[in-house]
Chain A
Amino acid sequence: MKRMTLRQTAAVGVAFAAALAAPANAQEEPRRGGTLVVARPADVNLWDPKYTNDNASLWAQHQVFANLIQNSADGLELRPSLAESWEISEDSTTYTFNLRQDASFCNGDPITAEDVKFSFDRATEADSNVSWQFPANPVVTVIDDHTVQIDIDRPNVAFVSYLTLWGSHILSKDYAEEVGPEGLAAAPMGSGAFCLEDWQKGQVAILTPNPGYWDPERPYVDRVEMRVVQDDNARILQLRTGEVDVALLVPFSQAASLANAPGVEATMVTIYGTAAIVPNIRNVPELSDVKVRQAISYAVDREAMIDAILLGNGEPAESPFYGPGILYHTDEFATGFDLERAKQLMAESSAPDGFEVDLTIPSGDEMAQQTAVILNDQLGEIGIQVNVMPVEAGTWWSMWSSGEFEMVYKLGTNDVIDPAMNIPFDFWPKDIGGSDSAFSGYANERIIEISVAAEGAQDPALREELYTELQQIAMEEVPQLYLFHPTIIYGTRDNVENFAVFPTKLHRFWEVWLSE
């Protein structure tokens, strides 16, 4: 899973036949039964996807809710889920989904087109945390009990891949109306592989298989216990002693010791995410000089940074896209570490004598703090004095989004394999639905032109060409200082089969079985 460089274009305009993903370990017949115990760093906050924006909650919701479609195990293709097939119109603005007849919620009610419409309408309301997952204003129409049609107002090739995210989880309309919003937050009515049996808040959530799940093969286990083990060290200890079968988010400092422990395996995944520094191009004169930004990019020794912060577990960022696994990613325009070149660029710039700049980071975020401390050291070499300003996380957010910063640390993630997801945020001005290029004030007409064209481009070859040009411009103009793609590590005991964490950090307990 480390370094996914497979490049394959997302298939669009095609109707998929219902086909089940073959288990990754094909020689072995999955074994049924048993309890899977998972140690997670945090508890579920709530079970209502509409208001969810924390990992611990959306990872859990992923187990109990199904979507119309889902990703294949390698994340490269879209597969059926509650919809057994779908058609996309020629101009890719109309999507018709044919629902399965045999899928039901945990209480036995069948899943119908009304539930789909209800779920989408609810997720796109004004106070929804997930409305960003619905670009191009989708409108859902019920055709019949088991057919829905979704219309979007402009062609958007990436639209379908968003349908795999938590904003598109299918909820039960009857249940939602019965229990109200507080009831939805307290307990879900599952439409996916599992039902929530018990939730002892702050401690454990227990899942059992949904008898009405559309896939009769899955899940393989009888029960999943999602335990809250906040402390990094404690998760490792419990994995070693066999108290838990899976430990999510293992700290880097423990990876080596885990690799040597008997009966335990540590796996690394480079996530679709980039640690980056956003310069305020609008308000800081030195940073608006492209030569200064280029100098900074050459002055940063990304490999040394990865060694120190991630203990070697990461990839240097070589593109504005969120990782080598993202579609159309290319490392052709990467800038390496070249201190001489950096010094020369500084000398040619408008600030040859260097300058002072504040770097705002969220306090308590260790990766941010270590990145900042190293930048303070490395940029000192080219005469830039970086003052690290840790502020409380909510304040950091507020300063960043209101443009009141000089440089700000961010860790962005891409929740789908398509690069289109973050392009409006990273490169578009506010008036066309962006955020002034991550609030930096950077604007490049050609990038906007390219990315708008790529959104509606049906031909993968054309998209590749457009996105390659975009990456070239971005690597040259350094609108953000792209640093590295962090790796996450998880630990499993040897009897856990077919468990995987995707580069989107999602995982599926319904694919897992326990060997003897």
Chain B
Amino acid sequence: MTEEHAASTLPSRRLPSLMGRGRLSALVGQRTALVAGAVMISAIVLVSVMAPVISPYDPVDQDLRNALQPPSWTHLFGTDNFGRDIFTRVIYAAQVDLRIGFLCVFFPWVLGTILGGIAGYAGGVFDTLIMRTVDTFTAFPFLVMAIGVIAILGPGVTSMYIALTLAGWSMYARIVRAEVLVAKRSEYVLAARALGFSHTRIMLRHVLPNVITPTIIFAMTDIVLVILSTTTLAFLGLGLPPPAPTWGTMIAEGKSFIFTAWWMVTLPGLAIVLVGISLSLFGDGVADWLRERE
């Protein structure tokens, strides 16, 4: 299993202690965190999109005569065993890695919200069925699931989305269900029902807007861990096919060279750390802002 589960196995009643206090945002001030995070992420995206302008090299072209060069002014991060410029590969990889990371949070968020909403609102058999399924997926070994899904569907981003959605949705379902149970008993829902509004309308117009905020707050803390998970899968050989660069595969390829070419492992990882910190800042800022608005 991956880091992603650190958060997603947390039952909701224990969440506040993890999310509430002691965050980086408190350190630099809420607005500052939000702005700093947003600026850093935009900068990373910009660099990645501008990669062809920034770097004179191609991310997949081989130059076997210049293999395994240490970092220098011609090759900022050095070259790998095929003589490819590591800096170029790192900035090209950002696009792919960020997209996968965001979507691997988005899909579980959607699925979990829908199923958790149904479980909480409908109750009864639906509730039992969905919640036992949630428990099953929580206790299922993530790696068996990930390898299984990727083996069934073949390599590529789609398999990655499905594997991470199957692993991540259960936490969102738990949060939403708990919130819906509270909202269901609230006066405005009872009033709406007395007025004879349809279930769909009550659900979409009255319940959903009230339960969505905590899930976004959770997603903001989840996103860092999900990005780490996707790179972990790539490291295990379950990522995108070569020669396309991703940070996880670059580190995996560098593993057998750690004695002779440390830069192949260390430098691509710094990109992940940088993204992790920017997302922490941004996520904390957004979460605090949402919490304040409530």
Q: In the complex, what distance in Å separates the CA atom of A370 from the CA atom of B83?
A: 12
Contact with A along B228-252 (1 / 0, CB 8 A): 0000000011100111000000000
Chain A min CB distance to B61 (Å):
8
Q: Which of B4-12, B22-30, B147-155, B201-209 contacts A (4 or more CB under 8 A)?
A: B147-155
Contacts of B150 in A (CB 8 A): 392
A373 x B256 contact (CB < 8 A): no
Chain A min CB distance to B153 (Å):
10
Residue of B nearest to A376 (CB): B243
Chain B min CB distance to A95 (Å):
44
| A308-B82, A390-B237, A392-B151 given; A366·B256 CB < 8 A | yes
Chain B min CB distance to A184 (Å):
29
Size category of the binding interface on chain A: 20 to 34
Q: In the complex, what distance in Å separates the CA atom of A304 from the CA atom of B62?
A: 12
Contacts of A307 in B (CB 8 A): 64
Chain B min CB distance to A402 (Å):
14
B260 x A390 contact (CB < 8 A): no
B243 x A373 contact (CB < 8 A): yes
Neighbour of B155 across the interface among A373, A377, A389, A394, CB < 8 A: A389
Contact with B along A321-365 (1 / 0, CB 8 A): 000000000000000000000000000000000000000000110
Q: In the complex, what distance in Å separates the CA atom of A468 from the CA atom of B82?
A: 37
B259 x A363 contact (CB < 8 A): no
| A253-B256, A366-B256, A373-B82 given; A390·B64 CB < 8 A | no
| A253-B256, A391-B155 given; A377·B62 CB < 8 A | yes
Contacts of B151 in A (CB 8 A): 391-392, 394-395
The verdict on A374 contacting chain B, using a C-beta distance below 8 Å, is yes
B256 x A232 contact (CB < 8 A): yes
B64 x A304 contact (CB < 8 A): yes
The verdict on B126 contacting chain A, using a C-beta distance below 8 Å, is no
Residue of B nearest to A363 (CB): B237
The verdict on A251 contacting chain B, using a C-beta distance below 8 Å, is yes
Neighbour of B147 across the interface among A254, A387, A390, A392, CB < 8 A: A392
| A373-B82, A377-B62 given; A389·B241 CB < 8 A | yes
The verdict on A266 contacting chain B, using a C-beta distance below 8 Å, is no
Contacts of B257 in A (CB 8 A): 253
Which residue of B60, B82, B241 has the most chain A CB atoms within 10 A of its CB atom?
B241
Contacts of B238 in A (CB 8 A): 363, 392
Contacts of B237 in A (CB 8 A): 363-364, 390
Near B by CB (< 8 A), chain A positions 370-385 give 370, 372-374, 376-377
Q: In the complex, what distance in Å separates the CA atom of A79 from the CA atom of B241?
A: 48
Which residue of A307, A364, A372, A392 has the most chain B CB atoms within 10 A of its CB atom?
A392
Residue of A nearest to B61 (CB): A377
Near A by CB (< 8 A), chain B positions 43-94 give 60-62, 64, 67, 81-82
* Interface SS, A side: helix
Contacts of B154 in A (CB 8 A): 389, 391, 395
A233 x B258 contact (CB < 8 A): yes
A374 x B256 contact (CB < 8 A): no
Contacts of B67 in A (CB 8 A): 308
Q: In the complex, what distance in Å separates the CA atom of A363 from the CA atom of B238?
A: 7
Q: In the complex, what distance in Å separates the CA atom of A265 from the CA atom of B67?
A: 26
Q: In the complex, what distance in Å separates the CA atom of A377 from the CA atom of B253?
A: 18
Chain A min CB distance to B28 (Å):
41
Q: In the complex, what distance in Å separates the CA atom of A388 from the CA atom of B244?
A: 10
Contacts of B242 in A (CB 8 A): 369, 372-373, 388, 390
Chain A min CB distance to B224 (Å):
26
B256 x A308 contact (CB < 8 A): no
Contacts of B147 in A (CB 8 A): 392
Chain B min CB distance to A399 (Å):
9
Neighbour of B243 across the interface among A366, A388, A389, CB < 8 A: A388
Contacts of A395 in B (CB 8 A): 151, 154
Residue of B nearest to A394 (CB): B151
Q: In the complex, what distance in Å separates the CA atom of A390 from the CA atom of B246?
A: 14
Chain B min CB distance to A300 (Å):
14
Q: In the complex, what distance in Å separates the CA atom of A395 from the CA atom of B148?
A: 10
Residue of B nearest to A256 (CB): B260
B241 x A251 contact (CB < 8 A): no
Chain B min CB distance to A162 (Å):
34
Q: In the complex, what distance in Å separates the CA atom of A308 from the CA atom of B238?
A: 24
Chain A min CB distance to B160 (Å):
13
Chain A min CB distance to B252 (Å):
9
Contact with B along A389-421 (1 / 0, CB 8 A): 111101100000000000000000000000000
B259 x A254 contact (CB < 8 A): yes
Near B by CB (< 8 A), chain A positions 283-316 give 304, 307-308
Contacts of A374 in B (CB 8 A): 62, 82
Q: In the complex, what distance in Å separates the CA atom of A108 from the CA atom of B253?
A: 51
Q: In the complex, what distance in Å separates the CA atom of A383 from the CA atom of B56?
A: 24
A253 x B64 contact (CB < 8 A): no
Q: In the complex, what distance in Å separates the CA atom of A389 from the CA atom of B62?
A: 19
Residue of B nearest to A309 (CB): B81
Chain A min CB distance to B288 (Å):
41
Chain B min CB distance to A372 (Å):
7
Q: In the complex, what distance in Å separates the CA atom of A387 from the CA atom of B256?
A: 24
B155 x A390 contact (CB < 8 A): yes
Q: List 23 A-B contacts (CB under 8 A).
A: A233-B259, A253-B257, A308-B67, A308-B81, A363-B155, A364-B236, A364-B237, A366-B253, A370-B81, A373-B242, A373-B243, A388-B242, A388-B243, A389-B241, A390-B237, A390-B241, A391-B151, A391-B154, A391-B155, A392-B147, A392-B238, A394-B151, A395-B151
Beyond A373-B242, A388-B242, 8 extra complex contacts between A and B, CB < 8 Å: A233-B259, A363-B155, A366-B253, A370-B81, A370-B82, A374-B62, A391-B154, A392-B147
Interface residues, chain B, with chain A CB atoms under 8 Å away: 60-62, 64, 67, 81-82, 147, 150-151, 154-155, 236-238, 241-243, 253, 256-260
Considering the complex of A and B, which 5 residue pairs feature the smallest CB-CB distances, nearest first?
A363-B237, A364-B237, A392-B151, A395-B151, A377-B62
